[in-house]
Structure 1
Amino acid sequence: MYQAKIMALLFVAGDQGIKEKDLAQLLEIDSAALRQNIEELKVKLLTDQDSGIQLVEYNSLYKLVTKNEFSELLTSFFKAGLGTKLSQAALEILSIVAYRQPITRVEIDEIRGVQSSGSLNTLLMRKLIKEHGKKNVPGHPNLYMVTDEFFDYFGIKSISELPKIENFEDDSNIGDINGES
């Protein structure tokens, strides 16, 4: 059961991965039990001929990645342009970054009400957003901004060409606490 949970968590974490201590805490198991489950899962994925993914560790950070033998296939996929569409979540995050930049992942999560790291990593990989320093608060989280590729992707020259945010706000349903307008 832990292996399925580990895979689910690592899948959602995407390129960000999850640190060993965070995985153990989320699964409510000790580090030794976690490492045993991870080692078993690594072997299981590596030896499964029907699996295209593997579990890797980088300095106590775990990730799911594609197996090396599929690199040519994946290169063909991206060269064919089949991986160029952005998901609804990625578009939401991209618009939040564009309108509120510079902004942290936590601030994006608060606006959306859901965790955004997977789509955020996709946008970073596609170079539509970039890290732009650190916010001067505890933990010093990364700040994100749109890139020149963002402008190219949407065919605009500056943020001022984006529609005004006020055009999307609908005040007609806003009332006081009793529901009166």
Structure 2
Amino acid sequence: MYQAKIMALLFVAGDQGIKEKDLVELLEIDSAALRQNLEELQVKLLTDGDSGIQLVNYNSLYKLVTKNEFSELLTKYFKSGLGTKLSQAALEVLSIIAYRQPITRIEIDEIRGVQSSGSLNTLLMRKMIKEHGKKNVPGHPNLYVVTDEFFDYFGIKSLEDLPKIENFEENSNTGEIDGES
């Protein structure tokens, strides 16, 4: 059971890793038992042909990392752009689409006050949004909506789970955002 807990902790810690002394405290286990579990987990992951990760120790800092044999695949992943975080501009465009969908690029540009085609292309490539028909106006521009990847990325099940826009409007009396003190 400790090995599963160790993996869960190291997974959420990501690149930061966790020091041995912190694992001892978090797991409420003595150092010897922790080291034994860490060694067993390290061997288990290294010998498991169906596992793409391994446990490493850098001066009593433990991390889960990918196995070296997957370096070409990971390079391909990062070159694809899929491994990058969304920029502030892309997040702005994505939030506009989520709250106003279906919406055109021109409508997004008008709300933001700047051109948004680069962010739209990024979001389309990341499959966070998709084209959803054409607007029945001259030029018939594409309409955009969010996808299942959007919901997965933000950990929500539906658009109803989004914060209400009213919660972000400034309170005209205090100049503070509603809900903050």
* Bin of the TM-score, shorter chain as denominator length: 0.5 to 0.7
- Secondary structure, counterpart of 1:144 in structure 2: strand
The alignment yields a C-alpha RMSD, in angstroms, of 2.6
Determine which structure has more spread, i.e. the larger CA radius of gyration.
2
**Judging changes above 3 Å, is the alpha-carbon distance between structure 1 residues 74 and 117 closer, same or farther for their aligned structure 2 residues?**
farther
Report Cα offsets for 1:68-92 as digits up to 9, x if no partner: xxx989615258x883300000000
**1:134-153 matches, cutoff 5 A:** 134-153=134-153
The two structures have a TM-score, normalised by structure 1, of 0.52
**Number of matched pairs:** 103
One-letter amino acid matched to 1:111: I
Name the structure 1 match of 2:83. 83
**Judging changes above 3 Å, is the alpha-carbon distance between structure 1 residues 82 and 152 closer, same or farther for their aligned structure 2 residues?**
closer
Report Cα offsets for 1:23-55 as digits up to 9, x if no partner: xxxxxxxxxxxxxxxxxxxxxxxxxxxxxxxxx
Report Cα offsets for 1:7-27 as digits up to 9, x if no partner: xxxxxxxxxxxxxxxxxxxxx
**Relative contact order (alpha carbons < 8 A, sep ≥ 6): 1 or 2 greater?**
1
Gaps of 5+ in 2: 1-71, 175-181
Identity %: 83
One-letter amino acid matched to 2:92: E
Name the structure 2 match of 1:45. none
**Contact 1:129–1:150, Cα closer than 8 Å, also in 2:** yes
One-letter amino acid matched to 1:95: S
Gaps of 5+ in 1: 1-70, 175-181
The two structures have a TM-score, normalised by structure 2, of 0.52
Name the structure 2 match of 1:106. 106
**Contact 2:77–2:83, Cα closer than 8 Å, also in 1:** no
Report Cα offsets for 1:113-132 as digits up to 9, x if no partner: 00000011000000000000
Name the structure 2 match of 1:131. 131
**1:135-174 matches, cutoff 5 A:** 135-172=135-172
- Secondary structure, counterpart of 1:132 in structure 2: strand
